[in-house]
Amino acid sequence: MTDIDLGATVTASQPGSGVSRETFASKGNAFELRGVTVSYGGKPAVVDIDMDIPNQAITAFIGPSGCGKSTLIRCLNRMNDLIPSARVDGQVLYHGEDIYDPRIDPVEVRKRIGMVFQKPNPFPKSIYDNIAFGPRILGMKGDMDEIVERALRGGALWDEVKDRLHDNAFGLSGGQQQRLCIARCLAVEPDVILMDEPCSALDPISTGKIEDLMLELKERYSIVIVTHNMQQAARVSDMTAFLIVKLDGDEQHRQGRLVEYDVTEKIFTNPADPRTEDYVTGKVG
């Protein structure tokens, strides 16, 4: 940037459509990360992350392999608890509450903050039972048929499966299985959906359906997505965080760090950091 005075500025012609961080401020934050460092076996994998993830918006994590995107998203619903050597320092505040507080039940955390993985992972059960599984375990009240239908409609799958609800879920296509996993996630009435590369195993049509679904879901849910597909981040997300890998002092250990976090339009039209620029334009891998 330069400090040369270039004359009159035409505000209406600035890049983007006027969406700014303030656009999301009125919705409040789903998460506030304060100095979050995640370590495996004492070695930090992502270091000192500070960011606010807005409500009812899609936030994308992008960055090269090994930058800690998946580690970071997994610490948002305590999935890293399942790895014995994992440790999370700093604070992950969810609607103001630290989800790592000893008084917090991790099962309740994962009920409110659902997760969809890279590879669709339906249970070896019927479509119906896949959806009903979570509500039954949690003892949710209400008509189970209605819960299943509502979840499948939410996952944009109802019309395709309503006549074969008791068929095995493995008979669905990959894209349908992934939407089933999203519907399964919705069935327990979460607040946030975390998606770790949800489309990387899908063809473009299925990917398009999942992306359409994400845009519908963000009206009611907060979504965080990890993606290697930058065009996907550009297409669907409202906010984008770019992480990089840094080697620590002895150059033996790789650490992920947050480089830039901003409105997606800004990241893809005029990023502030040259490292972001090099990554999104494909100059570095």
Contact 108, 92 (CB under 8 A): no
Q: How far is the CB of 266 from another protein (least distance, A)?
A: 9
The Cα angle at residue 24 between residues 23 and 28, in degrees rounded to 5:
140
- Only segment of 11-19, 52-60, 122-130, 132-140 that touches another protein (CB under 8 A): 11-19
Q: What is the DSSP code (8-state) at residue 143? A: -
Binder of another protein out of 2, 17, 26, 252 (CB under 8 A)? 2
Q: How far is the CB of 278 from another protein (least distance, A)?
A: 8
Assess 280 for contact with another protein (CB under 8 A). Answer: yes
Q: Which residue number, 83 or 284, has a Cβ lying nearer to another protein?
A: 284
The site string for another protein over 224-243 (x = CB under 8 A, - otherwise) reads ------xx--x---------
By CB atoms closer than 10 A (0-12, 13-18, 19+), residue 8 is: exposed
Q: Which residue number, 149 or 278, has a Cβ lying nearer to another protein?
A: 278
Alpha carbon separation from 53 to 43, 61, 77, 194, 262 (Å, rounded): 26, 11, 14, 12, 11
Assess 268 for contact with another protein (CB under 8 A). Answer: yes
Assess 282 for contact with another protein (CB under 8 A). Answer: yes
By CB atoms closer than 10 A (0-12, 13-18, 19+), residue 92 is: buried
- Only segment of 3-11, 101-109, 133-141, 205-213 that touches another protein (CB under 8 A): 3-11
Which parts of this chain interact with another protein (CB under 8 A)?
Answer: 1-2, 4-10, 13-15, 230-231, 234, 268-271, 276-278, 280-285
